[in-house]
Amino acid sequence: LRVAAVASDWSAWGSALAAMAENYSRAGDEARAEGRTASAAEQWRRAVDYFHFAQVKLTDEAEKSACQARVRLNYEKLAGLLSPRAVPLLIPFKGAFMRGYFRMAEAGAPCVVLIGGLDSAKEVELHYFAEGFLKRGLSVFYFDGPGQGESVGQLNLDAHFEEAVTVVLDFLSDHVKVDGFGLFGVSFGGYLACRSAAAEPRVKACVSLGGFFDSRILQRLPLPAFANLRRAFGLNENEEVERMASQITLEPLRGRMDRPLFIIHGRDDHLVDEAQVEAMSAWAGGLNEVWMMEGAEHVCTNRFGECLPVLCDWMRAQLTMAVAPQLIPSESEGLSWHANS
């Protein structure tokens, strides 16, 4: 309501949110200086979220970039106050660095590597998803791969994102003690996670939330998301993006996904249709499970309260050999479920 009172249009919303974010950031700094660490963490957390959603609405590139930088700065201040704390890692890759955060649930625990979508931020959406895995005793690593977040302009997205994931797993294996890896991806990250899991035998299980099979879905992208894709590829023209996008497909890795895959998808997803889900399931073969949520939107944002606990439980079961959740929802719950045998 405070924002609505001063925001007259889309960009004005961004400016109003950014102003509120600055207030939260300043309050966090003051609390930290006075030794009130819990309050500092709460205020910086709010600042991170508000700066992120401000940049979503801003149309001026300089203002958008400034807010993105403020997201990262406030999360850096927050990281050491989290429980467990978020340890920043710099992973060398192709002459640059992939930046991310490792959080250890306990020494030797399995680790879930989280991969974001075109509009995701590791400090916001991936942080939120990571909390669910941490609560179940799984360590997490969330990062900006090629074409994502801090990597934009330094490392371009290409058809072989799995190469970046292999380097991430190598680095984590060398520097921290973990008992196996799982992959989680959301939206475009769901596609990237599936591709990486198929190519990387150290991945024991994979979850795709709102992912897809190939580039046919790009025709449905709204203009801001398409612009993000163009920046991720490091290209200038939309026509170049279309040529590059033709390489976005799981097909070359057919037959290599021989580990459990959990596909969660909203029946009302306006970006990724059911044909894409069916293609993913057929590609993965016998070890995949599909959960179509009735009435759920893209990445099931309006049903997080139902789907996130289940997918986190499923991942824990796969990585720890615990009993997997039995999902037999009734029709009254508005869900549909099937598992390939």
- Residue the block writes with tokens 């033709």: 246
So where are the chain's domains?
Answer: 1-81, 84-339
Whole-angstrom Cα distance, residue 91 to residue 283? 31
User: Considering the chain, what percentage of its residues have pLDDT values greater than 70?
Assistant: 91
> Given a cut of 80, is residue 333 above it in pLDDT?
no
Which of the 8 DSSP states describes residue 145? -
Tokens of 287: 């070890």
Question: May I ask the CATH architecture of the domain 84-339?
Answer: 3-Layer(aba) Sandwich (3.40)
- Express each pLDDT in 213-223 by its tens digit: 999 988 888 88
> Which class in CATH covers the domain with range 1-81?
mainly alpha
- Express each pLDDT in 70-113 by its tens digit: 999 999 999 999 999 999 999 999 999 999 999 999 999 999 99
Contacts of 66 (CB under 8 A, 6+ apart): none
Q: What is the pLDDT of residue 230?
A: 87
Query: How many other C-beta atoms are found inside a 10 Å radius of the C-beta of residue 237?
Result: 9
Mean pLDDT of the chain: 91
Higher pLDDT, 301 or 326: 301
- Express each pLDDT in 147-177 by its tens digit: 999 999 999 999 999 999 999 999 999 999 9
> Given a cut of 90, is residue 134 above it in pLDDT?
yes
> Given a cut of 70, is residue 60 above it in pLDDT?
yes
Q: What is the pLDDT of residue 323?
A: 67
Q: Measuring CA to CA, how many Å separate 118 from each of 52, 122, 138, 186?
A: 13, 11, 25, 9
Tokens of 198: 């198929």
- What is the pLDDT confidence band of residue 8, given thresholds at 50, 70 and 90? low
Q: What is the pLDDT of residue 224?
A: 80
Q: Measuring CA to CA, how many Å separate 236 from each of 48, 207, 223, 243, 305?
A: 29, 32, 14, 12, 39
- What is the pLDDT confidence band of residue 211, given thresholds at 50, 70 and 90? very high
Across the beta sheet with 288-293, what order do the strands follow?
87-93, 96-103, 139-143, 111-115, 181-186, 203-209, 261-266, 288-293, 335-339
- What is the pLDDT confidence band of residue 241, given thresholds at 50, 70 and 90? confident
Provide the 3-class DSSP secondary structure of residue 154.
Answer: coil
Whole-angstrom Cα distance, residue 282 to residue 254? 9
Whole-angstrom Cα distance, residue 64 to residue 84? 30
Q: What is the pLDDT of residue 340?
A: 46
Q: What is the pLDDT of residue 189?
A: 98
Question: How buried is residue 11: exposed, middle or buried, by Cβ count under 10 Å (0-12/13-18/19+)?
Answer: middle
Q: What is the pLDDT of residue 300?
A: 97
- Residue the block writes with tokens 């720890």: 320
Q: What is the pLDDT of residue 7?
A: 53
DSSP states of 282-331: HHHGGGEEEEEETT--GGGGGGHHHHHHHHHHHHHHHHHT-PPP-----G
> Given a cut of 50, is residue 331 above it in pLDDT?
no
Q: What is the pLDDT of residue 339?
A: 46
Which of the 8 DSSP states describes residue 236? S
Q: What is the pLDDT of residue 59?
A: 86
- What is the pLDDT confidence band of residue 22, given thresholds at 50, 70 and 90? very high
> Given a cut of 90, is residue 133 above it in pLDDT?
yes
Whole-angstrom Cα distance, residue 94 to residue 164? 9
